[in-house]
Amino acid sequence: MAVKFANNAATTLASSISSGATSFSVASASGFPALGGSDHMYVTIDLEVVKVTAVSGTTFTCDATSGGHSAGDTVEIRVSAELLNDFATDQEALPVSGGQMTGNITMSGSETVDGRDLSVDGAKLDGIEASATADQTNAEIRAAVEAASDSNVFTDADHTKLNSVASSANNYVHPNHSGEVTSTADGATVIADNVVDEANLKISNTPTNGYFLSAQSGNTGGMTWAEVDALPSQSSNSGKYLTTNGSAASWAVLDTDANTTTKALYEHANVITSNYSISSGNNAGSFGEITINSGVSVTVPSGSTWVIS
């Protein structure tokens, strides 16, 4: 909490206030200090010193007044006992002789304390790990490393052990595979061509000749031998079509010359939308009115007839 001052700050009450008022309006707040957070100032209304804790526009919030005041009474900042006593005991002011402060001290730039730039030196301090000790010599660091258990570091003792091992004894030779699995010159292991057979596949069942291998994710290995639903023999069935009775497939002859039907009606379009040519030697018939679209033609060859009834 800080007490605020201003030179020659004065105005008048905009309206009268009663005893015990906790706010009042002034003609103008110009010249009075802005109050933020827990800041405050002391103003004199007529002869009463009032503590103001907030300013919003021309409205002053204050501790309860001890008396009433009339519109037009002078409101100004004066040097008063209340102001001086408050300033003398202001807890935010650090005594010249030193004392204890609470909260953080922030700097706007590169200010120094005892000639040290706190922003620069502070960054250096931030880089020191917690619980760091004084500088250590190489010998001290080596001793600490070699004394550690399972530290996964290469020590002088390890180096001595390696020196006593023949250089060829530590060479790794990649095995040269042959047969179904072979090794390439660069050390890769590959499966030879034409060696993966049924015995090397993980399949959920035993096959029968003529079965095919199908994917079945829920079965062992994800593959299963399954029977092929074979077509009937195609021998001597040229030109026939495939039909089924619901349980077996068979070949049948399509009767393209049939001229009878069980249907009572024939239907056809009454608009010809694309060019059409009647086959030579054939006649054609249409029922009812027929519309031929613009740009579309019907060709009737010589010897043929098109009847529209």
pLDDT digit string (tens) for the chain, length 309 residues: 588 999 999 999 999 999 999 999 999 999 999 998 889 999 999 999 999 999 999 999 999 999 999 999 999 999 999 888 887 776 556 666 666 767 777 777 677 777 787 777 777 777 777 777 677 788 888 777 777 777 677 777 777 777 776 665 556 666 677 777 777 777 678 887 777 777 777 888 888 887 888 898 888 888 888 887 777 888 888 888 888 888 888 888 887 777 788 888 888 899 999 999 999 999 999 998 999 999 999 999 999 999 998
Q: Which fold has domain 10-88?
A: Elongation Factor Tu (Ef-tu); domain 3 (2.40.30)
286-290's contacts with Cβ under 8 Å and 24+ in sequence apart are none
Do residues 72 and 12 touch, judged by C-beta distance below 8 A? yes
What are the boundaries of each domain within the chain? 10-88, 191-227, 271-308
Tokens describing residue 227: 């029977």
Residue 94: the pLDDT is: 60
DSSP helix/strand/coil, 54: strand
> What does residue 212 show for φ and ψ, rounded to 5 degrees?
-120, 160
Do residues 45 and 9 touch, judged by C-beta distance below 8 A? no
Strand bridging mode 10-12 / 23-25 = unpaired
Question: DSSP characters for 2-35?
Answer: -B---TT-EEEBSS-B-TT-SEEEBS--TTSPP-
Residue 84: the pLDDT is: 86
Residue 42: the pLDDT is: 95
Residue 93: the pLDDT is: 60
Residue 98: the pLDDT is: 67
Rounded to the nearest 5 degrees, what angle is found at the Cα of 12, between the Cα atoms of 10 and 16? Answer: 150
- Chain CA centroid to CA 142, Å: 46
Strand bridging mode 59-62 / 23-25 = antiparallel
Residue 247: the pLDDT is: 81
Left, alpha or beta for 158 (phi > 0: left; psi -120 to 50: alpha)?
Answer: alpha
Residue 245: the pLDDT is: 87
Residue 92: the pLDDT is: 57
Residue 203: the pLDDT is: 87
The closest alpha carbon to 214, from 200, 226, 230, belongs to 226
How many C-alpha atoms does 68 have within 13 Å on its Cβ side?
6
